[in-house]
Structure 1
Amino acid sequence: MRTPLVLLTWLCLWEEAKGMLRTTGGLSGETWSQMRADGGPVTLRRSKRGWMWNQFFLLEEYTGNDDQYVGKLHSDKDREDGKVKYVLTGEGAGTIFVINENSGDLHATRRLDREEKASYTLSAKAVDKATGRDLEGPSTFTIKIHDINDNEPKFTRDPYIAAVQEMADVGTFVVQVTATDADDAMYGNSAKVVYSILQGQPYFSIDPETGIIRTALPNMKRENREHYQVVIQAKDMMGQLGGLTGTTSVNITLLDVNNNPPRFTHGVYHFSVPELAEVGSELGVVKATDADTGKNAEMNYRITDEQDTFQITTNPATQEGVLILKKPLDYERRASYTLRLQVENVYLDPRFQMSGDSATVKVSVEDVNEPPVFKRPVYMMEVKEDAQIGTIIGAVSAVDPDTNRKPVRYMIDWHTDMDHVFNIHPNNGSLFISRSLDREEKAWHNISVQAAEYNGLIGHVPVYIKVLDVNDNAPTFDVEYEAFICEDAKVGQTIQTVSASDADQPVRGHRFFFRLASESFEKSNFSVRDNKGDLQQRITRRRS
């Protein structure tokens, strides 16, 4: 029967050694024999049957100058006479781990890091030096690197970026931070992290176990302070003395809520506008400020009176109120206006009861030197075509709309009366004829009359003159007539129909009367008969 290989290790503490063995199950059916008083290697003896180690423990980050002792391999067949050689194979054999082939002492040749590699699996056997025959077959065992607290906690981010609404209730969740520790979480407290705030109190608090940051101060206003930098520490060893620490920053921004109403920058605004300003023109801007930002600072302006004359809109880029003229102004009728403005937020937060602000706007209308204005927009006049030169056909009238009421002079725009048919009295605006009229030549005259101030401003008005017809044209036959008749024509037979026209224009049409010339009437063989019309007559045979 083969005798199993016995593995020995250097143990620091008796209780720790027993605990390791119980945990790893490294001892099977064995008993402890003794422990040297000087702390030397412990020899394990079997009482009834074979047993062996299956694990070694080695502290990481060894700082000594010599190779680190791991343990001792020993076979029952080794009589310590130098005939047995121990051979090591597996992970790191010959490089990281070496064995004294004569004594079986196992050493680590360099400093090990558990976080780099936590365990190594190796095999060992005992060989007869003389014959090379295996005295003990390969036995596999594990060297576990025992963790020490050599890694500080590291946060998953640095910095963290977070935001929370201003005026949030105490205890409102902000963000959760997380730190990890590369040490062994299954051994001791090296990887057990506790969180605390180094900077950021009394505004924020943190749960020491979960890393959740919450608000700790009531009624924090963005308008007072918008940005906070909170420094968080993570400490291992459950925060105990000697634990390693890591830190991170958390940049927290207070988000705006609509808890501020808009306020006008002035109680009274003054604007001046010329009376000739066009409808739709901007008269000026008013400004209200809001301590909030974004859509919480968007506002509406409105006019509570004089809404027919003015209106106000909001410039979306600047949030200014733009005052706009809605209807024409007239300095002579009204020289000033007083408006009442109201401003309110567009988006209201039901949690805050806020009212808008009001202001007064005083608008002064500036007088402008305006051209004369005619009392009528257009003049219609009539004159008979046989009126004498110099006959007054009507008059126009214009006044200076300005308060000083400057006198005006009248004239005809000669571009509209190239033939100078009419003239006007410069002082009173009376129109009279300066040339003879002929309705049949031109029935309407459309002219423009000007009214000018002495400073040169001119007003215009159209004047339409209708020439009335008089009976000043004799009828004329339409053509030269030539008639033929047979010698056997009957009495009363129609020989020719004649017609006439008149250049005049009577109200109800013309009525013509035809007759034969008196000197030929008695001797004539023909007569003229009415054709029951105004323009035509029949010439008939009177006798044989």
Structure 2
Amino acid sequence: MEASRKLTCRQRQVLFSFFLLGVSLASAGELRRYSVVEEREGRSFVTNLVNDLGLGKLEFSRRGAKVISKGNKLHLQLDQETGDLLLMEKVDREELCGHTEPCLLRFQVLLDNPLAIFQADLQITDINDHSPVFLDKKIVLNISESSLPGTTFPLKNAQDMDVGQNGIDSYLISSNSYFHVLTRKRSDGKKYPELVLDRALDREEEAELRLILTAQDGGSPPRSGTTEVHIEVLDINDNAPQFDQLLYRVQIPEDSPIGSLITTVSATDKDIGVNGQISYSLFQASDDISKTFSTHPLTGEVRLKEQLDFEKTQSYEVNIEARDAGTFSGKCTILIQVVDVNDHAPEIVLSAFNNPISENLPETMVAVFSVSDLDSGENGKITCYIQDDLPFFLRPSEENFYTLLTQKPLDRETTAEYNITITVVDMGSPMLRTQVNVTVEVSDVNDNAPAFTQTSYTLFVQENNSPALHIGTISATDSDSGSNAHITYSLLPTHDPQLALSSLISINADNGQLFALRALDYETLQTFEFHVGATDQGSPALSSQALVRVLVLDANDNAPFVLHPLQNASAPCTELLPRAAEPGYLVTKVVAVDRDSGQNAWLSFQLLKATEPGLFTVWAHNGEVRTSRLLSERDAPKLKLLLLVKDNGDPPRSASVTLQVLVVDGFSQPYLPLPEVVSDPTLEEDALTLYLVIALASVSSLFFLSVLLFVGVRLCRRAREASLGGCSVPEGHFSGHLVDVSRAGTLSQSYQYEVCLTGDSGTGEFKFLKPILPNFQDHPLGPEMGENSSCRNDWGFGIRLK
């Protein structure tokens, strides 16, 4: 029977060790409780959270479930694939909770997207793995022989680390004829033995007794522990010590120094002598009480031996025994209430942190954290806050959990990083605080288009440039970062169909450098403009554009071109000069143009060579060829001049003009002598004023003389026409070979000439020479010009100067 009973108990223990209580999960705001037997091996199954939370495995994995334990003491492990909640290692209930019952481990299950927090408790169920133990191997009792039957004698109780039904259940005493044991229960639920006298003792018959006291727990199978009870029978001492009060109530702050006086107990004994001498001691004190408190045996002072900790133990029940020299003793109880002081700063536990945060997003979760304080009352009340000048705010959630959120969309271009200080302050005195710094980075989105440094660019390039010449650089910046700020440049299509932009300009897509693809010609293209685009590599890409204007600068690459007199005719043109011409007579005007511009087109005229040196002068600025003196008989009838037309370029370009002049008798031609006014730029300001006055008077005089001369010449010409019999001038238009030099070169006036020779003149004498004042297009040169004429051309010319 005994073997069968042991086998049954062992089976019950095995079954009990694998027993797991079920868990009923309610809504996210309710407390869930699981249960597991202590001493289970690591990775033992607790529950399946996928089923308990009513989630599918995919959703459970997507929401990133986490298990968070108070104080970050990780006793549980979550399998993310299956959702199984497992024990990480073997759990010892006595180590975790001591005598506290029930033994609960608080933890939370945290889910993201959306945020949900489930509170849960893991209850560690006790197994009977500790036997009762007596602190003293021997209990000595001095019992007077005068003790009456029924007298009780309290005995020191045994200690058992197990709780509940596995704790001490009963006490037994070995078989004897004097005593039996009663099992009593204190106010805290602990059981202790009392020895009850069954019949009176007789010291002379038996002076001492040795009994075995057994403490047995209620486990299955039960465990037990024993100690020896040594009873010495004494002579009569009929008065026991009596305390002033049976119950003392004391409050003491937890930060009281070691050695502080808790209270002083006092007891009296009516006996005298040795039987009236009282000594005080702790009675039935546990290890914790024995380490924490001490009692002076003579004075009854109870003092502090070890630092108190309210967060560990809030109250103590201390039993004091007053024993006289005889066999009697009295007992009292001290209830010590530990008063909390603010000796613990609040704690912050960061559970989730989302970093970096994308800019331009509305309210976004940055972090989830919990706060706690081990103190109680006002000392445990906490306030949480962050800086006021940040675009973030705190939102409280379940049971001291807070969520850090963005208050508005962030702008990385304004602030790329935030340093957030989370401050937790309790309400104690003095207040204690804890701060945690969190750095939040703002990630970039492509919300800024590239911006050119200028809205338009003007570039200059000299004509006849070499191909692939770098003519300038455009630049754009982007406030974004990374690929969102990487800029590529491109030429935008032009709206001018005649501008072949792709054959003129190319651009480096990486740095915005512009290159001329071919040599440019100022005379063909002076300026052109186009748009350039800058595009980033964001998604979607953003772009902007700028106007680029290219100005082609002129180079002196064209020599002057002589319009009059033409140099490519079949025969050189001959100008007629009356022998009676006065000095300053206008022989002809050389007209030339230059395709260049600016100073490259400023022309100057120079007489290089003449048959009669000193007879002619050429005005350097307008090309007028005039006589410088009167003709003499020694001068040749046919004169040849070589003139040079030169521009003002660097280096200068030039062209030569060959001019033949035929001196004729009896021919007069009005001329407009234009005196040269030489100005010296070094003259003083007063001299310049004088010269201007003289020049104005001279011009006025010359104008008056010119009018008189013009009238005289007209009268003379009419008289000469009458004597020569006239000159037939055919009506009609000039030949199409007429050259119009209006606004060409540096001419300032308009001149037209008509030359007519006698048809039967064998010597080539002039019939007349007259200026044609009307429009030359209305008076073409007739075919009457003979073969022997000194100026034979099939084309006429008119020069209009403006």
Q: TM-score, normalised by structure 2?
A: 0.35
Between Structure 1 and Structure 2, which shows a larger proportion of helix residues?
Answer: 2
Greater relative contact order, per chain length (Cα 8 Å cut-off, separation 6+) = 1
